[in-house]
Structure formats: C-alpha cells, structure tokens
Amino acid sequence: MPRKEWPFGRKVDCSIHRKALSMKLSTLALTAAVALTGAASSALAAEISGAGATFPYPIYAKWADAYKKETGIGLNYQSIGSGGGIKQIKARTVTFGASDAPLTGKDLDETGLVQFPMVMGGIVPVVNLEGIKPGQIVLDGPTLAKIYLGDITKWDDAAIQKLNANVKLPSTAIAIVHRSDGSGTTYNFAYYLADVSADWKSKVGVNTSLQWPVGIGAKGNEGVANNVANTKGAIGYVEYAYALQNKLTHTRMINKAGKAVEPTSEAFQAAAANANWKSKPGYGVILANQPGDASWPMTAATWILLYKQPQDAAVTGEALRFFAWSFDKGDKFADELHYVPMPDNVVKDIKATWASEIKDKSGKAVYQVTN
C-alpha cells in the first residue's frame, strides 16, 4: 500500500491521526496474538504426550528420535511406571498411557479406553557378584521366589549351589532390590513367581505394587538397575535392555521345559509364538512361563492405552500415526535392543481396532487403515 504523504503547508488534526494509528496498532497486536496462538497450537499439536511403563522406554526413545527426524513430530514420554501411566491417561493429562500390566475388559469398558500391545521383551534377573560373568549362573523359578521371599539369604545357599555345581559362589549376603513404584514389570515378575511357587502365590500374590517381604525399593527399571550396579551381592529384575545398557550381569533361567536358557530375542519370540492375542479383551495376554524348550520364562508385552473418543482427535490421530510407523518401520530398532516386534497378523488386527473403535465426536475414525 503506498505510504501517505503529510500535507505540508496546512494544519493537521493530530488527534484524528493518533486515533487512527492507535486503532491500527490495536488491530496489528490482535492479529499478532492470533498468529502466535495459532503457532503455539500447531507446536502443541506436533508434540505427542505419553506416560507410563519404564519397561519399553529404551525402544520408545529410539522410535521417537527416528520418527522426529523423519516427520518433525516429537514425542514427550514420561517414564514413570505403569501405575503412573494408568493414572495419567485416566486423568486425561496425556495423549496415551503405557502399561506392562493390561487392564481388564471391565476396566476398559468403564473407562472408555482402547488397549493394544506395542512390543514385547524379557524380564531378567541381574546380579552384582564379583568374578561372575553374564549368563554364568543359572536360577529357576522356585529358587528365585525363595530369594525374594527372604528364605534364601546367602549366595552360596545349597539351593543355588545345586543349580550351579561348577561355579564357585561367594558366601555373600543377598541384597534384594525391587520396584518401589506401581510397575507392570513387577506385575509380570510376580505373575511368573506365583505360577511356579505356591508360597509366593499365597504370601505375596500378583499386583503392580506388592507388600514385599524383604529388600529395598527403587523407582523404575532405571532405579533397580542403578541400585544393583552399586550394591555388592545385589539381585534385581529389569527389562533386558536395561541390563545391556548398564552392563549388568544377567542370569540364565530354567524354563517350563526344564531347559537352561539365555535371554535373547529368539527366546522371547519363542515364548510369544503360541500366544492367542484375541483370547483376552484389549489383547491382554500374559506371556509368563510359556511352554517350549527355547522359551524365556519371564517374557512380557507392553500395552498402549487411548480413549475411544479422545478430547483432541487430531493429536490422538498423530499418536496413532507414530504407532503405525513404529510397527511398520521400527523393527530394526527393536531388534538392536532385544525387544520383539509384534507379529504382522497381530499388527493388522490392532490397526483394524483403531479404525473401528477410536473415533472423533462426529463418529469418524481418527485413523484410516491404508495397508
């Protein structure tokens, strides 16, 4: 627009011009505020928020980094434990919750949530014993239960020595480390112990939070790993990626078939091979103590929780596109960290669930299946 020239040589009513200028500035300020608000909304829309399980945090972090580089969309994931994740999604403070302990069909119906498994991995016992190498010692379920019940207190106890006849075990007190927070890793660990030990089942039971008979608590897989690393004679349980990242000494385990197995992707996959994911609401299948010579006995899945009718359909759609990308392109990252991707047929079912159950207020599917 051409700039107006001041009419030199005659009087000008400055008050009129001041009013006009004031109105223009107000209009510009409002326009700028609207523009800034829109920019902030766009920035927020580009940030997916989630909270929950520490078990899958290493792989979620890998996926998020790769996804942001490809799309520019970020993921803000709080690794606070499954109990915290369930609380946050129920309070609607995050786009999605994450839990290693699946919700029941009744709970899903009452809360209006959709649940699906995202990835699988293995829970491993880790120890801090001088001179003992990763995989050098082996434990079985009943012995592990007795350790966590406080019935076995020394590393050279006869029950442990019997399983490790060729290993010189130290006469060191066992320092037990367990989770202090509400944890799906704890749920799967306790589920396994209850399956192999009647004493554990009757005295402690299965839950995300337990009344531990003995030991010290630590927050998250990170906290357990750190405590074991810094405590001589310690034993703890963590997702295998944490054992690798923290260079912890894992044990082998005797599985349901009576075979001593190492925690590997193949062993986790063997445990999941016969899982009937459709047999439980929200695909809530527990993989502990599965049959098979090669099966790792403490294999577990981790689940995502989303609302069937989200408050912000656009952001939920963005989250689903991230999960779809992770299913379609994230296998190599999962393999690197010894997680097990969900089978293709299960992924197909999960995407169909998104399309049929997660809808905006008009009833339109938030996610459209394209493959």
pLDDT, one tens digit per residue, over 95-148 is 999 999 999 999 999 999 999 999 999 999 999 999 999 999 999 999 999 999
Is 88 among the domain residues? yes
pLDDT for residue 327 is more than 70? yes
Q: Report whether pLDDT(264) > 90.
A: yes
pLDDT at 46: 58
Q: Are residues 262 and 307 in the same domain?
A: no
Averaged pLDDT for residues 33-57:
64
Please check the confidence at residue 323 and state whether its pLDDT lies above 60.
yes
Question: How many whole angstroms separate alpha carbon 328 and alpha carbon 233?
Answer: 42
pLDDT at position 368 is 83
Residue 100's alpha-carbon distances to 47, 127, 155, 191, 198, in angstroms, are 23, 23, 30, 12, 23
Helix residue spans in 311-343 (DSSP H): 313-329, 331-336
130 in the same domain as 93: no
Domain residue limits at 196 = 122-278
> Is 314 a member of any domain?
yes
Single residue among 263, 278, 293 that ends a domain in this structure = 278
Is residue 188 within 8 A of residue 298, CB to CB? The reply is yes
Name the residue with tokens 């009943």: 142
The reported pLDDT for the residue numbered 132 is 96
Return d(Cα 164, Cα 252) in angstroms, integer: 11
Q: How confident is the model at residue 312 (pLDDT cuts 50, 70, 90)?
A: very high
Q: Are residues 70 and 59 in the same domain?
A: yes
Q: What's the CA gap between 56 and 371, in Å, rounded?
A: 26
In a domain, 362, yes or no: no
Which carries the bigger pLDDT value, residue 330 or residue 41? 330
Strands (DSSP E) found in 53-112? 74-79, 96-99
Going by C-alpha positions, the residue among 228, 139, 236, 142 that lies closest to residue 183 is: 236
Structure tokens that stand for 105 in this block: 């069909």
Please check the confidence at residue 225 and state whether its pLDDT lies above 70.
Answer: yes
Instruction: Give the separation between CA 76 and CA 49, rounded to whole angstroms.
Output: 5
With CA atoms as reference, report the closest residue to 272 among 340, 329, 334, 327: 340
Give the residue-averaged pLDDT of 19-28: 38
Specify the CATH number for the domain of residue 76: 3.40.190.10
29: pLDDT strictly greater than 90: no
Exposure string over 103-133, b if 16+ CB within 10 A, otherwise e: beeebbeebebbbbbbbbbbbbbbbbbeebe
32 in a structural domain: no
What pLDDT is stored for residue 354 in this prediction? 97
Report yes or no on 36 lying in a domain: no
Same domain? For 126 and 182 the reply is: yes
Copy the structure tokens of residue 328: 């379609």
Same domain, 104 and 139: no
In this structure, is residue 39 part of a structural domain?
Answer: no
Among 246, 278, 310, give the residue marking a domain's end.
Answer: 278
What residue type is assigned to position 313 of the chain? A
Look at the chain and report how many structural domains it folds into: 2
Shared domain for 169 and 241, answered yes or no, is yes
SS3 assignment, position 341: strand
- Does residue 38 sit within a domain? no
Domain shared by 194 and 259, yes or no: yes
Judged against a pLDDT cut of 50, whether residue 257 lies above it is answered with yes
Residues 262 and 164 occupy one common structural domain: yes
pTM listed for this prediction: 0.83
What pLDDT score was predicted for residue 370?
A: 72
Mean pLDDT of the chain: 89
Relative to beta strand 340-341, strand 74-79 is: unpaired
- Two tokens, residue 339: 């997680």
Dump pLDDT digits (tens) for 150-189.
Answer: 999 999 999 999 999 999 999 999 999 999 999 999 999 9
Q: Point out the domain boundary residue: 278, 309, 333.
A: 278
User: How many other C-beta atoms can be found within 10 angstroms of the C-beta atom of residue 61?
Assistant: 15
The DSSP output letter for 220 is H
Residues 6+ apart with CB under 8 A from 363: none
Q: Within this chain, do residues 183 and 220 fall inside the same structural domain, yes or no?
A: yes
Residue 178 lies in a domain: yes
Q: Give residue-wise pLDDT tens across range 271-311.
A: 999 899 999 999 999 999 999 999 999 999 999 999 999 99
Residue 199: strand, helix, or coil: helix
Contact 287, 301 (CB under 8 A): yes
**Considering just the CA atoms, what is the radius of gyration of the chain in Å?**
27
Q: Are residues 146 and 256 in the same domain?
A: yes
Give the residue-averaged pLDDT of 205-217.
97
Within 8 A by CB and 6+ apart from 98, the residues are 50, 51, 52, 53, 56, 60, 77, 82, 85, 118, 302, 303, 304, 305
- Asked if residue 200 and residue 59 are part of one domain, the reply reads no
Q: Could you report the per-residue pLDDT of 338-369, keeping only the tens digit for each?
A: 999 999 999 999 999 999 999 999 999 998 87
271 and 141, same domain (yes or no): yes
